[in-house]
Structure 1
Amino acid sequence: MNDSDEDSRRFSWQTAQQRAAQGDSRQVADLALELTDRIETVAKRKREHEHQLAMLVRVLAIAPGPDSLTQLLRLFTRNQGPGAGLAPRFVASLLAEHREAADLVGPLSEHDPKGRWDELRICLLHELILRDVDVDAFVKTRDWTRVLYGGHPLAWLPRHRSALETRVSFPSRSVNSSARSVGVTLPTEGRVDPPTPRTGEQSALIDSATLELHHMIIAAPEAGRWGDSEAWVFRTDEEVEPDRVPALLPTLPMGCVEGLGATGRFEIARRPADAIWSLLFATASMGGMYHRGAHGAYGRFWAWKSLAALSDAPAGASPEEVEHHARRTTWFHFESDAEWFHNDSFTDYGIAALSPDRRRIAVLAATDTD
């Protein structure tokens, strides 16, 4: 059936009412089914076009020389605005991977009165910062955030790469292929596995995580579209020494250790704060097996937010305050054979954080198998 005024009349609400009133409900349903088929066809075609657009954008972003960049920016000036294949965070990630900062700053600093490059600029800024580019050396980059981004979430991030951000992993992409790190593995160094058999007695501590805090703790795996993630927060009446945490965690009322028993595999290691940030960043930025993630700029943002919530940083804390808090927190990385985890290669992990006052234990569990 062709798209025409006649089609519109056939599918009009008034016509449907008339047919139904005449007892011709079957024809109304047939028209509805026909329209459903048309919608599915259009949606499939749209997905195909978006995939083709993404491939063409990748070619322009990766191709060397100034003209390909000029043509790529031209796409962002179209009146209808960027489509799915022109997601600014995706394009910024590609540009930062394949081009020198000096070649990007000039063209992207040109006059853009309608602000169509705004999101691309701020995403690119943080992609460059993560790659340890001194953006202050490029005076024009200050204009990318000075006026337009007072309320933008990425404006909260530090303008220089923090000492927590030294273990940064990026995907490696060409026109026809992509590669990334193999995933999550528990390190051999810092292992503090509790002896088995462990106690079978469950702790009396109660999860106190609010809905808001829960969402902030799992922000990184949510941003990376991992299969599932959960969070718990336990507060204690007395200080908990770090050496007690490995044996305490399997006894807590958490789904990620439920049914583990006294001898099920529970492996755990103490980790520095920068290793935890790196794990959260990789989770958010590169995503799970079936999703390409939030990319560098937003991956950076959500890694910081998860870190802040896990370490009990005050609400509204600056990145500097979050870093100070995170460095005083005792961090653990663990794996478990409990049923909640699927234990496929490199797709499960748990993080536990003992707060600086040693009276709060926060836990994040993530799995990329839903």
Structure 2
Amino acid sequence: MNDNQATPGDDASRRPLGDLSGTAELKLRAGARPEELYEAAERLCREASDDGSAASAAAVRTIGRVADVLAETRSRDCARFAVDLVGRLLPTAPVGRREGDRLRRSVAAKLAKAQQLRDLAPLLEELPDDAEDPSADVRACLLGELALIGAGRGRPALDAYAERLQELGHPLAVLPRTRLDVEHRFTVRVRGLGSVKTPDQLRSRFPEISPTDGGAAAGHTAGQTPDGTRARAAAEPFTAGGWAREPEVRFFTLPRPLDPDDFNISFVKELPLDCMVGEGAHRGGAVACRTTPDDVLDTLFAAAYDGGVNGRPQGGAYARLYAWKSLYALLGLPADVPFPEAVGQALDHRWLRFMAFTDWFHHDTADEAFAVLDPTRTRVTVLAATDTDTDG
């Protein structure tokens, strides 16, 4: 073959990134000559850093696609190039922090699924100096993704990096390095078990609790105890995930312990909740069913992991963090309570899923509503979220 003849992949490797319109072409380039793809993306990073226009924002999206493809192409070089692009080279000015966060979390998730652990370990040999460094954050996300698939613990480089993140106070460093039993449903999707949209679906999955006159009477006595910080933490899986509307989070106290049998839809309907006001377009009676902490935790995780209609999936590591922060807020626990103790306390609470046919809920995308009764039976937390934009 003479020097002028092309080998498979040569055309793709020489073309500018902007000319590669399809993922297949990027994959071809990543598999054949990843270093050339990286160099082209590196040049695009420099150009985007010098240009604050919409064109440079488009360039950043292209860089993100390149990093995703590299992360999914199994090789040590591809893994290193992907992390370097989103951790060190990605310009932040044109797209802002949110887009950079999304790209780092996406790349970390793909690395954990596609790459061999022996090729990921070298990425964590150099310890970070700053928890807010994007390079440290993408690696923290990688450790978090590995924890969710039960990998990475016991390797010196990974353990040392995790310890340094703890010393630096990185937010993900508070999470367990292994997946807890209560997290068994994270990332697991069962065919046919999508969003609950009808009372029959709710009753088929969870045991219904009958309404009582005592529940209605107790609901009238509930007093609100506002707590903005706690409410924001409880809502974070939905706000971070880009759900269409701000969730409703409210805290109530009761003058006397509530009979457990009266913790039902009659009680919820008498609380001063926005989500229970008005009559929605769909007909049906409100219903409440008993659920468990693992169901609630999984719902919180999925809200951030999948993202809402506004499309902000957070990746496994941060979705896990937001889910736990929300659960702690629902329980009213301080952040320093160990996770196993939090799980034990969650089991001592009573948990409801409820559904209503009001102006708040629409039953056409995703609606979630929970009520939590503490062990003293005098404190109740309600969290309701909908992914339907009423203005749309």
Shift of 1:265: 2.3
Q: Deviation per CA, 1:67-119: give whole Å up to 9, x if none.
A: 322322342575666774673222111212223334322x3123367766311
CA distance in 2: counterparts of 1:126 and 1:184, whole angstroms? 29
- Note if contact 1:272-1:331 (Cα within 8 Å) is conserved in structure 2: yes
Q: 1:116 to 1:213 in 2, by over 3 A?
A: closer
- Note if contact 2:237-2:300 (Cα within 8 Å) is conserved in structure 1: yes
Which of residues 72, 76, 90 is equivalent to 1:62?
72
1:15 matched residue in structure 2:
none
CA distance in 2: counterparts of 1:89 and 1:95, whole angstroms? 10
Q: 1:332 to 1:101 in 2, by over 3 A?
A: farther
Matched, 1:168 2:186: yes
Matched, 1:159 2:177: yes
Q: AA paired with 2:268?
A: L
Q: Deviation per CA, 1:307-339: give whole Å up to 9, x if none.
A: 111122245323233222112111111221111
Which of residues 158, 179, 198 is equivalent to 1:141?
158
Q: 1:224 to 1:187 in 2, by over 3 A?
A: farther
Shift of 1:126: 1.1
Q: Per the alignment, in what secondary structure is the counterpart of residue 231 of structure 1? A: strand
Q: Deviation per CA, 1:195-228: give whole Å up to 9, x if none.
A: 5999988724222121112112212211212112
CA distance in 2: counterparts of 1:196 and 1:43, whole angstroms? 61
Which of residues 202, 207, 211 is equivalent to 1:191?
207
Which of residues 124, 135, 139 is equivalent to 2:142?
124
Structure 1 unmatched ranges of 5 or more: 1-40, 172-180
2:243 matched residue in structure 1:
226
Shift of 1:66: 2.4
Q: AA paired with 1:147?
A: R
- Normalised TM-score (structure 1): 0.76
**Which of the pair has more CA radius of gyration?**
1
Query: In the TM superposition, what are the counterparts of 1:277-288 in structure 2 within 5 Å?
Result: 277-288=297-308
- Note if contact 2:221-2:254 (Cα within 8 Å) is conserved in structure 1: no
2:326 matched residue in structure 1:
306
- Note if contact 2:86-2:138 (Cα within 8 Å) is conserved in structure 1: no
Q: AA paired with 2:339?
A: P
1:110 matched residue in structure 2:
125
User: Which range is displaced more, 63-72 or 211-220?
Assistant: 63-72
- Note if contact 2:128-2:136 (Cα within 8 Å) is conserved in structure 1: no
Matched, 1:292 2:308: no
- Note if contact 1:234-1:360 (Cα within 8 Å) is conserved in structure 2: yes
Matched, 1:350 2:365: no
Shift of 1:292: 3.2
Matched, 1:250 2:266: no
1:339 matched residue in structure 2:
359
- Note if contact 1:329-1:353 (Cα within 8 Å) is conserved in structure 2: yes
Q: 1:357 to 1:138 in 2, by over 3 A?
A: same
CA distance in 1: counterparts of 2:104 and 2:384, whole angstroms? 30
Q: AA paired with 1:295?
A: G
CA distance in 1: counterparts of 2:158 and 2:180, whole angstroms? 19
Which of residues 316, 320, 339 is equivalent to 2:340?
320
CA distance in 2: counterparts of 1:292 and 1:240, whole angstroms? 39
Q: 1:182 to 1:55 in 2, by over 3 A?
A: farther
Q: 1:62 to 1:232 in 2, by over 3 A?
A: same
Q: Deviation per CA, 1:150-206: give whole Å up to 9, x if none.
A: 3111121122211211111269xxxxxxxxx84456362333254599998872422
CA distance in 1: counterparts of 2:233 and 2:215, whole angstroms? 31
Shift of 1:250: 1.3
CA distance in 2: counterparts of 1:250 and 1:125, whole angstroms? 43
The percentage of aligned residue pairs carrying the same residue is 31
Which of residues 106, 110, 116 is equivalent to 1:100?
116
Q: 1:357 to 1:112 in 2, by over 3 A?
A: closer
Q: 1:355 to 1:304 in 2, by over 3 A?
A: same
Query: In the TM superposition, what are the counterparts of 1:256-267 in structure 2 within 5 Å?
Result: 256-259=275-278, 264-267=284-287
Q: AA paired with 2:224?
A: D
Shift of 1:61: 1.0
Q: Per the alignment, in what secondary structure is the counterpart of residue 166 of structure 2? A: coil
User: Which range is displaced more, 292-301 or 359-368?
Assistant: 292-301
Q: Deviation per CA, 1:1-49: give whole Å up to 9, x if none.
A: xxxxxxxxxxxxxxxxxxxxxxxxxxxxxxxxxxxxxxxx964323322
- Note if contact 2:211-2:262 (Cα within 8 Å) is conserved in structure 1: no
Shift of 1:269: 1.6
1:217 matched residue in structure 2:
234
| Alignment coverage as a number of residue pairs | 319
Shift of 1:245: 1.5
Q: AA paired with 1:219?
A: E
Q: 1:200 to 1:276 in 2, by over 3 A?
A: closer
Q: AA paired with 1:71?
A: F
Shift of 1:64: 2.2
CA distance in 2: counterparts of 1:234 and 1:116, whole angstroms? 40
Q: Which has the larger helix fraction?
A: 2
Q: AA paired with 2:367?
A: D
Please report the RMSD computed on the Cα atoms of aligned residues, expressed in angstroms: 3.1
